[in-house]
A and B are shown apart, each in its own frame.
Chain A
Amino acid sequence: MNLTLRIWRQRNAQERGSLVSYEAKDISPDMSFLEMLDVVNERLIAKGEEPVAFDHDCREGICGMCSLVINGLAHGGRRATTTCQLHMRHFKDGDVITVEPWRSRAFPVVRDLVVDRTAFDRVIHAGGFVSSNAGGAPDANALPVPRDDAEKAMDAAACIGCGACVASCPNGSAMLFVAAKVSHLAHLPQGHPERAQRVLGMVHQMDLEGFGNCTNHTECEAVCPKEVSISHIAKMNREFIRASVLEA
């Protein structure tokens, strides 16, 4: 298939970027989106031009490194799909595809389609962990966890921290990411001792990083490659109210 790509090119964080058009000819529908970009890059290199910089690592939908807003939708907007798992068969011959980086004040562009997501790391540093020494693996069922809690914690822990929630939110809010981390640990006994500090600290850091505020558009949930539910945002809201009233 033959495609026209409009790709955001930006040399570095300081310079202004712009959309540049490229013809991508003879693309196999079996390629992933990133493999298609690899082909485009090989041809650019052969012509002596700068290849397009983009983030990726595992290419099997588990690491959270790949990003890209494709035709206005994070990871292309297909259900439960990362960009590395998005296949070209979902596009049509002759399509014009616009590829942009995550847009957020908290995620500055490093180069082309690569953004700096260390804001997420700082949010995690602010409380997204259990600091007690857990020792070796405990005996099974020594610490009972109700099945529903275990399931909810697991669903929240599926978050790979890619940042699609921020990219897709009309307000640039990171609530789904932060909520996944808060909810994951709040559902488990190991997370309880630091429950209040955790939610207050992480929300404080989230605000400091310049993310927006949730107005319940629920776009985040729709694009999340791990289908993390906004029920975790409600859980974080409850955790925040509880911590504000009872502690702090």
Chain B
Amino acid sequence: MNAIIGQPVSRVDGPAKVTGHATYAAEFDLPGLVHAAMVVAPIPRGHIRSVDTAAAERAPGVLAILTHENAPRLPYHQIPQRPQVDAQSGEQLHVLQDAEVRFNGQPVAVAVAETLEQAVHAAELVRIDYARTPALTIFDPARGRPPSEGNVKAGRVPELGRGEAEAALAAAPVRVEARYTHPREHHNAIEPHVTIAHWEGEHLTLYDKTQWVDNDRKEIAHVFGIPEERIRVVSPFVGGAFGSALRTWPHVTLAAMAAQRVGRPVRLELTRRQLYTSIGFRPHSEQHVALGATKDGRLSALKHEVIQQVGRYEEYAETVLSPTSHLYSCPNLLARYRLVEMDTNSPCPMRAPGVVTGVLGLEMAMDELAVELNIDPLELRLRNYAETDEQKGLPWSSKELRACYATAAERFGWSRRRPEPRSMREGDQLVGYGMATAIYHSDRSAATASVALTGNGGAVVRSASSDMGPGTYTSMTQVAAETLGLPLEQVRFELGDTNLPYAPVHGGSVTMASLGNAIVAACGAAQKKLADLARAAQQGPFSGLPSEAVAFHGGGLARADGSGSVVPYAELLRQHNLGWLEAEGSAQPGEETKKYSSAAFGAVFVEVRVDEALGTVRVPRIIGAYDVGRVINPKTARSQCIGGMVGGLGMALEERADWDARFGRVMNANLAEYLVPVNADIGVTEAIFVPNDDRNFNPLGVKGLAEVAICGVAPAIANAVWHATGRRIRQLPITPDVLL
């Protein structure tokens, strides 16, 4: 049989999605389902003086109005070992537990009614009198402070470095130094966050939009103080998330609370506007980069300080310093991370959290250094190629970044670039070429999966993972099918349910490296179980053979020496009167993390067209080459990469939350005014995968593929805008008002 891994297989869940048969969280139509709508605070800080729910309670269809005055007091036990995706210090927002208002948009009441319209109406009738107190709503870098202990323990360190950066910078013959900013950005997945909560006695089922059912269950168990076994979380399909569904948000608690109060299943769906305050966002950042180099373009000093906004009731921080620490070879490095507290909902991971920010500053600064040195930007990167991870002092498990540079540059036609800015034109338009490096550290987490070989000759593979869009259903099916030697159609992968074996978070690009290997292990375990049965049998072709004398191939068991025929799985099951046979397998990071540093790499090249008079920038071409280890499915991998390019383009040219400090509020909290790219913005997008197979990192040879795809795109565009116009725009997004 042909290899299935590496084939551009179309999504196995595609037909269900396009025909409407895929059931998303909002669509579980439970008998007796009722609806909840949130009331949110319109002030950034203060407290509730009084609440008047009389009119709301009298409104048609209303079942309950919950406020801090009548909501149950919940224990909110803290999870001892918090998952990385949660805020690492402080505590999550405790909903309806007190009269405090901590940010504009905080839920302060919930209306529950028979229909959605009735709930929304009732929510509008709740009258709340607020006392406003002074709020921290201005991003003032001077207030920056180091991350607190919890975050430091989780690797979000306030400082890292090596050598003597200050002295080396002072002594450097060539120096560049600049400040870069990007605004607060929002995920804006198509599917809104939604939870249906259903209590049956003491058992709670949550149909939720989540990238991690197991964590959802854990958090709600702790919030309500009930054993995890009494909670089931179901989330088979996720309509995009980009990190927004990694952790459990307060509305999940509200839905469960409301369902408990009214004794019926309750659905709570956030409105688009609420999606700007009831989940997280990519925090506003400001960064300062100083580079020192020798005249021939070798980095001698690298200083990088990143300052980000953070909420006040809990502290979410990111690994912003990670790319700086190891992207280039540089003996003297000092990186610093600071947080500015603001009265806002908490930020959270958004595609390539932290790293996309760090790469932005570093890669724009590298471009400025290339100009200062009069060296080609690509050549400058090659001269400072990091052969090892100099911060960790470890070799890379694999690194094909040179091949990425070469392949993408060739494909793009980088050699046609004339070095001087404003030197290339097409009609009235200025043309600019820009490039940047992309990197995202590769991690693995412990994962488990089960494989059931079934009497009809197929297999069902299960794990409590998620597929928010990258194609997990498809790629895991491929891994299992190839490992079992079955055709793709014979294998089904099930995910998104806490009843299934434990899976790690579906984020941070860890899914394939973690779960993929667990599935390989589970397939092996099932095969071994079956082979053991066959060998132990009284009769049959394998009776009494030692284990090394049999082997699976071509969808069944055969003698290892090739004599005799292949007995298919179904036949073996039948011989042992089994309807099916199931086994579990797991995989976890091992010694490799001590021996190697692992990361996915990329090189991104873009062309921009700038209409200088009108200040518009268009991007006709983005070409990226990526080293992501082995590619399980080039088709879905390409989708990931071009999706990352589109996201990066949005970051460079369009995305911005319009924050009004007077109200502590995002004013453009809708998809008409918060702009993300549309089709017309996108020209040629091409993703090339350079060959690699990183067995040092894990047996499947994959690295991570998702986060790396958005890294590097925005700086490449900003660098291209410089090349087109001679103007260095250090503040994203680059909109006409900024360019004029």
Q: Do A and B bind each other?
A: no
Which B residues form the contact surface with A (CB < 8 A)? none
